[in-house]
Every structure is written in C-alpha cells, then in structure tokens.
Structure 1
Amino acid sequence: MNAPLPAPAPAAAPADLVSRRVAGHSLEAPFYVSDEFFRLDIEAVFARSWIFAAAEAELPEPGDYITVDIGPYSVIAVRDDDENVRAFHNVCRHRGARILNDERGSVGNIVCGYHHWTYGVDGTLLHAESQAPGFDPSCFGLRAVHARTVAGLVFLCLAPEPPADFDEFASTVEPYLAPHNLPRAKVAAQTDLVEHANWKLTMENNRECYHCAGHPELQRCYFPLYNFTEDEVPPALRTTFARFRRADAEARATYESLGLPYAAVEELDTRPTGFRIEREPLDMAGESFTYDGTAAVKRLLADFPTARLGHLGLHLQPNAWFHVAADHAVLFSVVPLAADRTLVRTTWLVHADAEEGTDYDLDTLTGVWATTNEQDAVFVARAQRGIGSPAYVPGPYSPTESQVEDFVNWYVSRLKAHLETDVTAERKAERKADRTAELEER
C-alpha cells in the first residue's frame, strides 16, 4: 500500500514560503497559483530585471514602435531619428492617459489621443495646447525606461537602477550572436500563444528535456540529451548519444575553423542577469530546426560557407530563450498575464533579402517550433491543474533538471533580495516615525 500523502502545509506569508523553500524540489503551490505571488513576481522580478522585449528587426525604421505590457506597466519601445532604440512609459505626462494603444505601428511623433499632448520619438514634449504662463515643456517629457540592444536583441528594465551586470552579460554573449547578423534580419513570422499556466511553469518546462519524448517532431533534429552526462544517458538514447558524439566532434572542428565561439558559459543563478549560452550540433542534416534537419531558408543569415552550424542556444532569466542557426533565428519571450496565464511569443528571423515562396516556405520554417509550442502548452496546463490540487506536494528534481533548479534558485534569490529591501525600508520608516514621535513629545 502506498504511504499517505503528507498534509498540505498551512497558509503562510510569501516571506515565510520563500525562506523555507527546499533546495532540489519544486516550489510550494502558492508560488504558482496565488494572485499575491503573481503581484510579487511582477514587482520583484519583472520590474527589476532586464527583460527581453523584441528583436531590433521589429523596429526597422525611425518611428517604428512596439508596446510591451508587463503587469500594470505599459512600455513604448521606439526607433528614434538617430536609429537608436529608446523606451518610455506609455503614460501621458498630462493626466496619465495611455498614449499608444496598438501593439505595434509607426509614428512621426507620439501623440496622446486624449488631449493631444505631442512627444518626439526621443520623449521630449513638443506640444501641449493652452497651458498656463510659465509652463516648461522640458519638465514634462515621457518618463524613460532603460533600453539596451545586444546583437539585434532589445532588452528593457523598469527599475530606476537596473542590474549593473548587464554590460558583462552583453560582452559575453555578443561575440556568439554577432556573426549571425541579426540587426539586419527581418521578421518572417511571429505567433502569440497563451498558456494556461503560471509563467514559472513555462520557464521550468523550457529548462529541461526530461519531457522531450513528448516532442517527436523536435527530436528529429534536436539531440534530446539536455543535461545528461555520459553515465546518465538512458539505454533508449545510447544510439542517439553516439551520433551526437560524432556530430559534436565535427561541429567543434567547423566552429574553430570559422572562429565561432562555442564553449558553454553558464551563469544561470550566480548573477542578477542570469544566462547560459552555447553553440552545439543539430541532428540529421545538422543545419536547422526542420523535420529533416536541412536549412529552411536558402539565403543564410550571414555569409557562412556552410549551413551545417548546428545552433546557438541562449537562455536568459527570467523570460527568454533563443535558438540561432545558420539560416534563421527563433526568439521566445514570456510575459505573465495572470497567476495561471502566460503569453509565449515566438519570432522567426531570416535574412532581410530572403523572400517567402522563393527562399523559404513558411510552414517548413515554423513547423517544428510551432508544433513544439502547442505540445508544451498542454504539458504546462496539466502541471498547473495538478499543482492547484490540495493533494500537491513539492517533488524532487531529477539530475537532468539541474537548470530548472538553477532557474528556481535565481527566482527565489530575486524574491529574497526584494523582500529584504522592503523590510529594511520599513524599519527605516519605523525608526523615523519613532524619532518624530519623540520630538513631538518633547
């Protein structure tokens, strides 16, 4: 007879749940199902970290913009007249109206549709009708949001003081990404999928291949050996592992001959801007994420002498992962919508001059990852439903789920830092109130 499940732990405050987190195990249910944790995740993680927002290819010309919604925040990312990407809070400085209401578009100036306050694409206030004498437009420009671009990828940070390690992250990953010429690519396709699960389940699912038997299409071209050591490879994957060893030796020789960096750099839970990057082979033809591994796009992203370059994989905490092959790139971003709903946006980039129908077939280009996304949506929805049961008790991660542990460690450390900052601020406020009361008594 099976032993009875332990009784669910009593309700606890977020700080208590964070402090009692058991390493090597999944999180307790409130982390995934409670609205309180959803709000905390926005405040402590998404409003304080560098977030992947878009490809530069989504903003090809001055005046092109996208809007990004993160919890209660809305941000405009726009290409300015000097062709730099800038970002601003999507809030009019007059009476707070939402300014741009479309997901994307192009503007000459940024005009609020309520009272027509008009801003330049550099955020300066250009026109505000019928103001009092002495009104100074320079005091009412759009509130800026930190924006950085790295090798064609756009990152935003909502915090007044963003994590200071971004330069180190950028200098590490840019040499890997730069050969693929992503700033000069174009968007071939973009899809939005709402997963009925907490955003952390979406990210955890991405950080392991323990479930990859559920992705037969992906496994045709992608070696499903994520985090396996040679001793841990199960019997069913021994033939695949032997094939991987041969492909890996060939790929390393190619990378070295072309001067392409490929070694893994893994700092997933050791810094505020946690990341992992590595170049490695693909299976079958070894060229791309297609059903037979051949290139999906005839026109490669850059002037590579071969399409057989495997893929460059980049993981970024808290909300993104990327796969870049010789012929195209696939970018994934995650945005929390509610405690149990998450937006997964997938963007396919190809060479700017590649033509659909001539250089690539859209279904071939998107097929593997579109199918994989749908399968993952089913998996994480099942996880969400199970965690919502009173019978759920956190379970142990397998050794191949080490990057899930890294993600959860990183996430918990962000919450701890935020909660400790709040406690410190609260204590300072209490001491100030005590001193004020003492002075008043005197």
Structure 2
Amino acid sequence: MTEQEIRELVAGQAERRALASAFYRDPDIYERDIDHIFMRSWLYAGHQSEIPEVGDWFLFEFAEESVIIVRSGEDEINALLNVCRHRGSRVCVEQKGCSKLLRCRYHGWSYDLKGRLRAAAHMPDSFDRSSIGLKKIHAEVLDGLIFINFAEEPGDFSSVRDGLADCLRPYRLEDTKVA
C-alpha cells in the first residue's frame, strides 16, 4: 500500500467506528506505524538492575533493530546499535554479557563501552578510528527504568519524566531488581 493510499484510508475512516481491517493486517501500515510512531518515541528497554556492574550489557530487540544497553560507567548507561561499522554484522550475539570491550566476531573490530572503535583488524595505520564508532541511541533513566529513542532528534524526555515520575515514585523502582 502506498503512502497516498494509507492517507486516503485514514481520511476515509469514520469517527467512532471500528477501524478497517487493513489497519490491523496490512504490512505497509504496520511498517509505517513502526517508523512514524515507535521509532520516534521513548521506548522502555529494561531496568538498570540488569546491568549492575561496569561492562554488563544486554540486548534490546525491537522491529528490525538490535540495541546494546551497556553500563559504561558507575552512573552511565549507553545504548548502541548492535551493528559493526565494518561489515554490518552483529557485534553482540548473546542476549546478555559482561566485557571490557564489545568485539565483533566477524573481523575482530572492537569497541569500548561508549561505542568508540578501539581496534580494527586488517586496516592501515592511517585509518581514522575516531569517526567510525557504534551508532549511539538516545538513552535516559527514570527511577531505574531505561528508556531509549531511535530518532536523530528525539522529543524532550522531560515530558515523559514529568508524566511518569509521580506515578512511579511510590514503587521505588530504582531499588528493585529484575530476576
């Protein structure tokens, strides 16, 4: 279904009526919703207790994307696309782990916990490693809950924080642990 056909379907949708079946079943509408809604929204990715120590990481999988959620410092969590910048292979293949470096198994390229390229096998000495790190995704922590956003320029997280903080505070989620 083309973008124009989707717009026409939306425009023709009667208010207070069940949605046309295409809204539920059409793969093009599904992909459009993923791209226009979810890839631009703050998504819950996990809890900080899943990565208690520096070097701990886990994978967050959404749609076609794989993201490494890693504790890169005592009070620092990074979200990095799980795609090696050399040949596009997955850097992390297990669901979780702990390491000082994130190493691609394909050609051995290694990245630090902030996504900076540290070793690039088979590359000349003149190769500039500084500009080819793992792509960083926006990440925020609210009461122990880790949220990520794929957008280049995401909406301000303060609106999410303001909307959830009062609801979450009584549960003290920052002190909980995921088993």
Task: Tell me the TM-score normalised to structure 1 length.
Answer: 0.38
User: How many percent identity over aligned positions?
Assistant: 34
- Distance change (3 Å), C-alpha of 1:25 and 1:63: farther
Task: Name the counterpart of 1:104.
Answer: 96
Task: Name the counterpart of 1:59.
Answer: 51
Counterpart contact for 1:42–1:70, Cα < 8 Å = no
In structure 2, which of residues 7, 10, 33 is the aligned counterpart of residue 15 of structure 1? 7
Task: Name the counterpart of 2:114.
Answer: 122
Q: Are 2:82 and 1:90 aligned?
A: yes
Structure with higher Rg: it is 1
Task: State how 1:3-42 maps to structure 2 within 5 Å.
Answer: 13-42=5-34
Counterpart contact for 1:62–1:83, Cα < 8 Å = no
- Rounded to whole Å, the distance in 1 between the matches of 2:72 and 2:17 is 46
Aligned length: 176
Task: Name the counterpart of 2:165.
Answer: 174
- Rounded to whole Å, the distance in 2 between the matches of 1:120 and 1:133 is 19
- Rounded to whole Å, the distance in 2 between the matches of 1:173 and 1:89 is 26
Write out per-residue CA displacement over residues 310-368 of structure 1, whole angstroms, 9 at most, x where no aligned residue.
xxxxxxxxxxxxxxxxxxxxxxxxxxxxxxxxxxxxxxxxxxxxxxxxxxxxxxxxxxx
In structure 1, which of residues 150, 160, 180 is the aligned counterpart of residue 152 of structure 2? 160
- Rounded to whole Å, the distance in 2 between the matches of 1:128 and 1:83 is 28
- Rounded to whole Å, the distance in 1 between the matches of 2:11 and 2:71 is 43
Task: Name the counterpart of 1:44.
Answer: 36
* Secondary structure of 1:18 counterpart: helix
Q: Are 2:131 and 1:144 aligned?
A: no
Counterpart contact for 1:152–1:182, Cα < 8 Å = yes
Counterpart contact for 1:66–1:76, Cα < 8 Å = yes
Unpaired segments ≥5 residues, structure 1: 1-11, 189-442
User: Which residue identity is paired with 1:73?
Assistant: E
- Rounded to whole Å, the distance in 1 between the matches of 2:20 and 2:97 is 41
Two-structure CA RMSD over aligned residues (Å): 1.7
Higher strand proportion: 2
* Secondary structure of 1:80 counterpart: strand
* Secondary structure of 2:40 counterpart: coil
- Rounded to whole Å, the distance in 1 between the matches of 2:32 and 2:132 is 30
**1:50, CA displacement in angstroms?**
1.0
Write out per-residue CA displacement over residues 213-233 of structure 1, whole angstroms, 9 at most, x where no aligned residue.
xxxxxxxxxxxxxxxxxxxxx
**1:173, CA displacement in angstroms?**
2.2
Task: State how 1:300-315 maps to structure 2 within 5 Å.
Answer: none
Task: Name the counterpart of 1:274.
Answer: none
Write out per-residue CA displacement over residues 73-120 of structure 1, whole angstroms, 9 at most, x where no aligned residue.
111111112331110111001111111112222222111011111111
- Rounded to whole Å, the distance in 2 between the matches of 1:104 and 1:186 is 16
Counterpart contact for 2:53–2:74, Cα < 8 Å = no
**1:21, CA displacement in angstroms?**
2.4
**1:19, CA displacement in angstroms?**
1.9
Write out per-residue CA displacement over residues 369-394 of structure 1, whole angstroms, 9 at most, x where no aligned residue.
xxxxxxxxxxxxxxxxxxxxxxxxxx
Q: Are 2:99 and 1:79 aligned?
A: no
Moved over 4 A (4+): none
Task: Tell me the TM-score normalised to structure 2 length.
Answer: 0.90
- Rounded to whole Å, the distance in 1 between the matches of 2:135 and 2:176 is 30
**1:47, CA displacement in angstroms?**
1.1
**1:176, CA displacement in angstroms?**
3.4
Write out per-residue CA displacement over residues 29-83 of structure 1, whole angstroms, 9 at most, x where no aligned residue.
1111111112112211121111111122222222221212222211111111233
Counterpart contact for 2:47–2:146, Cα < 8 Å = yes
Unpaired segments ≥5 residues, structure 2: none
Counterpart contact for 1:46–1:70, Cα < 8 Å = no
**1:184, CA displacement in angstroms?**
2.4
Counterpart contact for 1:89–1:144, Cα < 8 Å = yes
- Rounded to whole Å, the distance in 2 between the matches of 1:35 and 1:158 is 21
User: Which residue identity is paired with 1:45?
Assistant: I
